[in-house]
Chains A and B, each alone.
Chain A
């Protein structure tokens, strides 16, 4: 028998991708719609804030990040019809009114003296949550059936890490006194409380259901 017709396993020994994943088509579309809504609210406000921050370095970073998050929203928008959701606007919604209230609060600061408040909301509260919810989705979905979502998540997550780092470093350079540290902490606490009340970017279960406490011993 010729060697080139010898049967080989369809999956190489190192290919550990498996079936099924945690999410149905419908659930993936629902989450994608929530992600798009949140990314869109984020890129809009980053763009709007550019004119309101006097710090030149912050202004230029916000301009760059506005596009990065717009590109994420675009990817989710394009994924929806591939998940049988032909009306892209139907799922372009927050998961609940509490999350909408959280995003309104993130977008609220306007004055030129409020750069710290603006950045804390985005880079210390919201973007770390994006990293969490996207990582959960990436680890939970099927690497075979949902490979297109995984490709988007991998691309987007890389951006989220980088934008988080840029914003965090700006904050570290801006917070140079106990009074400013106090402002940042107050802002963080307010937004974190609102975020927790919403259950997350995709609502309760954004990071999966926590199992009941397991007795030890």
Chain B
């Protein structure tokens, strides 16, 4: 089997429908939805269509877990021990088991919440972060950026489970959150160990992480404000090894991303209005 698998080659059964992230971001229907101005976007039980949105998010978590599993698995395989030490491969194999359990949990939770596999689309940009040919950059993209996002998502979903009186959801999200903190910590530890004598490589890795983080902010999806769907889970991020400075910087990046999304929506609305007048 060859080393390095492109995201287009990920194997799926017939239920899965793949979309490109740009199709979702530039979906013209998004402008009309934004115009509705239905209040803060934060996951909350008093939000319109809260149940529908939580089901959609759960499906997103499920496909994200599959890709995280696949990414960790490829890191076991793609590198020789001189590029990725034996202990790093062991960590990635452990992560495979954890992500495999997360897939199982997400499938069961999807059933519990009333959705089914393939009901929503899958975009594979998460796996794309796991295709980097440098293991340090790959770990920064996956274990620090992607798994960091998972901390934020699980923390928000756990809170949503608590508020909506769903102990099953809260229980499961709390367990997955514990694993994600471990995975982020793995990424932080390996970044430190592998770039100990190579500050330039460390900076490249952190830059790659910032790029991936910016993508994961998804035009205001994640941030510190009420208008963000997913809240930055600062306390759990600190447990995972992120400094306060890193969290502040991510928050600033998220605000920037939210602002950009708002500007784009305004421009699109203006264009739409001009077209119809």
Listed in ascending order, the chain A residues whose CB lies under 8 Å from chain B are 40, 43-56, 59-64, 66-71, 73-74, 77, 107-110, 112
Contact = CB atoms under 8 A, between A and B. Distances in A.
B11 A48 contact: no
14 contacts: A40-B86, A43-B89, A44-B76, A44-B89, A46-B76, A46-B96, A47-B73, A48-B1, A51-B70, A54-B11, A56-B103, A69-B93, A70-B76, A107-B1
Interface residues of B, number: 33
Interface stretch (B2-10, B154-162, B203-211): B2-10
Contact of A56 (B1, B13, B76, B127): B13
Nearest to B15: A56
B93 A66 contact: yes
Contacts of B103: 56, 59-60, 63
Contacts of B174: none
B90 A52 contact: no
B130 to A, nearest CB: 9
A74 B9 contact: no
Given A44-B76, A46-B73, A46-B76, 20 more contacts: A43-B89, A47-B73, A47-B75, A47-B77, A47-B93, A47-B96, A48-B5, A48-B74, A48-B78, A51-B73, A51-B127, A56-B117, A63-B100, A64-B100, A67-B96, A68-B97, A70-B76, A73-B86, A107-B1, A110-B2
Nearest to A114: B1
Nearest to A43: B93
B72 interface: yes
A66 B10 contact: no
Contacts of B147: none
A44 to B, nearest CB: 5
Contact of B66 (A59, A107, A112): A59
A109 to B, nearest CB: 7
Interface string B140-181: 000000000000000000000000000000000000000000
Contacts of A62: 73
For B74, B75, B78, the residue with the greatest tally of chain A CB atoms inside 10 Å of its CB is B74
B7 to A, nearest CB: 9
Contact of B76 (A48, A59, A61, A108): A48
**Which secondary structure dominates where chain A touches chain B?**
helix
Interface in B1-36: 1-2, 5, 9-13
Interface in B174-200: none
A63 B69 contact: yes
A187 B128 CA distance: 33
Interface string B39-82: 00000000000000000000000000010011011111110000
Contacts of B1: 45, 48-49, 52, 107-110
Leading 4 A-B pairs by shortest Cβ distance: A48-B77, A63-B100, A47-B76, A70-B93
Contacts of A46: 73, 76, 96
Contacts of B10: 51
B240 interface: no
A104 to B, nearest CB: 10
Contacts of B94: 67, 70
For A52, A53, A55, A62, the residue with the greatest tally of chain B CB atoms inside 10 Å of its CB is A52
Contacts of B213: none
Contact of A60 (B11, B100, B117): B100
A53 B97 contact: no
A60 B106 CA distance: 12
B224 interface: no
For B9, B11, B72, the residue with the greatest tally of chain A CB atoms inside 10 Å of its CB is B11
A51 B97 contact: no
Contacts of A64: 96-97, 100-101
Contacts of B97: 63-64, 66-68
A107 B127 CA distance: 22
Contacts of A49: 1, 73
Given A45-B1, A63-B69, A63-B96, A51 B90 contact: no
Contact of B90 (A50, A59, A73): A73
